[in-house]
Amino acid sequence: MLSNKQFQSFSKNYFLIFILIFLSACTEKQQVIKWNLQSQATKTSIDYKELEKMTANIKTMSNGRLIITPHPGGAITGGPDIFNAVQERRIEMGSGWPNWWSSQHPAWAVMNAGPFDFMNIDASMMFFLSGEGTQMANELSKPEGIIWRPAWWPGMEFGLLSKEPIKKIEDLAQKKVRIGPGLPSEVLTATTGAFSIPLVPSEIRPALENGDLDAVEWTTTSGAWDLGLQNIVGYGIVPAIWQPSVLADFLINEQAYNELPIDLKVILETAIKSYTLTTTMKAKVADFKALKEFKNSNIKLSQWTQEDIQTWREVSDKTLQQYSDKDDFTKRLIESKKSFKQEYNEYYKLFGPYD
């Protein structure tokens, strides 16, 4: 039988052992998971700044258990290789544009907004957030070990900025134009006879300055302004008919995602949705301001004629039919988008702007 002193000593030791076991268990539960997120965006862009806020919020909400480090365009990799990097788990997350993954499957080229696709970002947002969009994107990405999520909507891209005036389709013949790959560039080339060059952001300004480019398409009004293109060019033509409701996307390595505890998955998904809404709205308001800046600058802006728009539409329809003929999935995606657009348009015949 233990004496009182022995019992106290035993109890004290037992209590210390219990504390050590408890602390050890807590340490195991507080395992820190670290990811890298490679973006296409430049460091000064709104979407990249919001990525920094998103990842900081994830760290806070997870109490430091999930740390995602964002990287601006080209830091680890860039362009179409972001898809490969996520697939191979060189990075756990990527953020880019669906049409950049078109070498993986032709449907990625039409996943984004092609010419005369959804004309308003809210229609595209509905399709991907409440319609079939995200489900269909994951049908493409899941076999490659990638989870797909919509990131944000830049909406209508700005147009073309150039050193020499471009006022009609014929002015683009034989010109070297920076534009992203996929359906938009194919339609531009087929319509105008220009050469499409899919440069990433860091390559655009040098190429424009040294004459390797004649004209540049780079995201939205604020994106073009923030890249400083107004300091090089003197002319612009709007709008970007080839991409009316463009969206950005997130790619997540499926194995890395499945390794997350359920609460960290919820934190990640919630943070992504918050990023989507915040970035979309902030960027669009920034476009309003940037357009004023362009109008107050020395750049001379012009718009496509109705005859040119009709030509764009005819070429776009032919190109889209060629995509539809490539495989059943691409055809189904095109039909799904057309069907949703028709429902959207029918509704807004009655409930659209009336002023």
pTM: 0.86
Q: Return the C-alpha torsion angle 130, 135, 137, 139, nearest 10.
A: -170
Domain with CATH 3.40.190.170 in the chain: 32-153+246-286, 160-245+298-350
Query: What is the secondary structure of 79-95 as a DSSP string?
Result: TTHHHHHHHTTSSSEEE
Percent of the chain with pLDDT over 70: 92
Is the Cβ–Cβ distance between 198 and 79 less than 8 Å?
A: yes
Query: What is the secondary structure of 32-80 as a DSSP string?
Result: -EEEEEEESS-TTSHHHHHHHHHHHHHHHHTTTSEEEEEE-TTSS--TT
- What pLDDT is stored for residue 4 in this prediction? 60
pLDDT tens-digit map of 221-256: 998 998 888 889 999 999 999 889 999 999 999 999
Mean pLDDT of the region 82-108: 96
Mean pLDDT score of the chain, rounded to an integer?
A: 91
- What pLDDT is stored for residue 16 in this prediction? 47
CATH code for residues 160-245+298-350: 3.40.190.170
Nearest to 214, CA basis, from 194, 239, 190, 199: 194
Under CATH, what is the fold of the domain 32-153+246-286? Answer: D-Maltodextrin-Binding Protein; domain 2 (3.40.190)
Asked whether the predicted pLDDT for residue 14 surpasses 80, the reply is no
- What pLDDT is stored for residue 183 in this prediction? 86
- What pLDDT is stored for residue 354 in this prediction? 85
Query: Residue 223: which residues within 8 A CB-CB, separation 6 or more?
Result: 45, 154, 158
pLDDT tens-digit map of 136-178: 999 999 999 999 999 999 998 899 999 999 999 999 999 999 9
Asked whether the predicted pLDDT for residue 348 surpasses 50, the reply is yes
Is the Cβ–Cβ distance between 14 and 174 less than 8 Å?
A: no
Asked whether the predicted pLDDT for residue 9 surpasses 60, the reply is no
